Structure 1
Amino acid sequence: MEKINENNNFKVPEGYFDSLTDQIMDKVAMEAPIESKNEGFKVPEGYFDSLEDKIYRKLNEGDTQVIALNPYKKYYYIAASVAAVILVYLGVQWNVDGTPTYSDLANTDIENYLEFDDLGISSYELAEMLPIEEMDMNDMLKYRIEDENIVDYINSNIDDFEELNLHDNE
């Protein structure tokens, strides 16, 4: 065990707890007021003799009717859930304009899909699938080139028209 601290200032005199209860009872008796006949509550004579019989008679009198405090509570819940379902349905229908079309997609969405999704198709295979007959050069360019601009370019940059190979000799 640890050594008891000798500097402990809390000490109790010897025999203090032996006479403590007697001292407390004496103080309570001195401070208690003198009882008078008019103070407190009185019980009629023989009250507790017949009390048990009275309680048993009241218990056996019959079933009492139970009154529900909120009988329509379940109907409120049903009505609230139906209203919530209708509101959700109308909210979803209101935001839907119809089925999306190809024109609704942004060009960047299509490019990202083709570039980052693993379709297992190379760019050459994708080019083979595109119908070339229906395509125009301006479909592939960002800015539209007018025919007269092409003619001006050819006139200014090409000396020999034979180099162009404009004949359908394939």
Structure 2
Amino acid sequence: MKAFKLENEPKIESGFKTPEHYFENFSEKLMHKLPENEPKVISLFQKNKKTFIMVAAVLIIALLIPVFYTSTVNVNSKEIDTATLENYLSYQSNINQYDLINGLEADEINNINTTIALEDATIEDILVSNGNLEHLIIE
């Protein structure tokens, strides 16, 4: 095999050459080739401004409908349902019947008092079917 030496062998010249004084006048030539007046830029929002505003209004209204609905429902239902109140007092609170009676006024107690006409047969059926007679006697 033949010895290869880089310094002694003839060098291959590149196929690319720059013209003389190319980089000296480059910026001037480029500025002459550019157009002097700039093109007019048209914004998408300016062209379809009415459409954009209508779409934004519809989205805002669609997002605010649930807020208005819940606020009007809460305003209209300030009174507590009687069944809900009875269930709460029966199962959730530690209030017994004597506490409730002490909280009532005399005219309210008179409105509650009603005459219940029970026949003897009905009372006997209740006493027979209810095995917890001691609890009824204590109350």
TM > 0.5 fold call: no
Larger Rg: 1
In terms of fraction of residues, the more helix-rich structure is 2
Q: Normalization by structure 1: what TM-score?
A: 0.38
